[in-house]
Amino acid sequence: MTYDQNNIFAKIIRGDIPCNFIYETEHVAAFDDIAPQAPVHVLVIPKGQYKSLTEFSAQASAEELEHFHHAIAHVIKDKGLTENGYRAICNTDSHGGQEVPHFHMHILGGEKMPPMLVKS
Ligand code: AMP
CATH of the domain at 58: 3.30.428.10
Identify the active-site residue in 27, 102, 104, 106: 104
Q: How far apart are CA 76 and CA 78, in angstroms?
A: 6
With respect to residue 69, please indicate whether it lies within any of the assigned structural domains: yes
Is residue 97 situated within a structural domain? yes
pTM: 0.97
Q: Is residue 2 part of a domain?
A: no
Q: How many angstroms does the Cα of residue 105 sit away from the middle of ligand 1?
A: 10
Report pLDDT digits (tens) over 43-71. Answer: 999 999 999 999 999 999 999 999 999 99
Please confirm, yes or no, whether 104 is among the known catalytic residues.
yes
- Domain assignment present for 89: yes
* Residue 98 CB less than 6 A away from ligand 1: yes
Q: Which structural domain, as residue segments, surrounds residue 48?
A: 8-109
In a domain, residue 117? The reply is: no
What's the rounded mean pLDDT across residues 26-36? 98
Q: What count of Cα atoms within 13 Å lies in the side-chain half-sphere of residue 66? A: 4
pLDDT of residue 119: 76
Is the CB of 35 within 6 Å of ligand 1? yes
Estimate the share of the chain in helix, then strand, then coil, as percent rounded to the nearest 5. 30, 20, 50
When divided into structural domains, the chain yields a total of 1
